[in-house]
Structure 1
């Protein structure tokens, strides 16, 4: 998954403003207690981060 696709899915799930807030502020256990921004900055793949988002939030199946 490309990073642009990841952000497109985040924006569709949360809306642009809230997606940025979730990425910056929400600590996800499946990402080792990191935020989305931290995990991506550490080199975690966008696909892996998106899978963690799907597991943590109620993401509709059509966005998986």
Structure 2
């Protein structure tokens, strides 16, 4: 997953305003008590950030990939 794909999913699933706010402000235990934005800046893979954000917000698997029926779901990181 690339950064652009992450931001597209954030906008589609969580909303462009609320999603970006959550990415910037929500501290996630799974990311070492960092926000998604901090984790990305530290080199964490976008797919790991996406899964951590979805897990924290209890986003069901069926909704995690947005409204595009052709979007491929990124696999979970190997360390999960």
TM-score, reference length from structure 1: 0.88
Matches within 5 A, 1:45-64: 45-62=45-62, 63-64=64-65
Residues in 2 aligned to 1:23 and 1:53: alpha-carbon distance in whole angstroms:
8
**Which portions of structure 1, spanning 4 or more consecutive aligned residues, are displaced by more than 6 angstroms?**
none
Larger Rg: 1 or 2? 2
Q: Count residues with an aligned counterpart.
A: 64
Deviation at 1:33, TM superposition (A): 0.2
Structure 1 unaligned runs (5+)? none
Q: In structure 1, what is the Cα distance between the partners aligned to 2:29 and 2:36?
A: 11
- Map of 2:75 onto structure 1: none
Unaligned runs of 5+ in 2: 66-80
Residue 28 (str. 1) matches residue 28 (str. 2): yes
| The structure with more helix, counted as a fraction of residues | 1
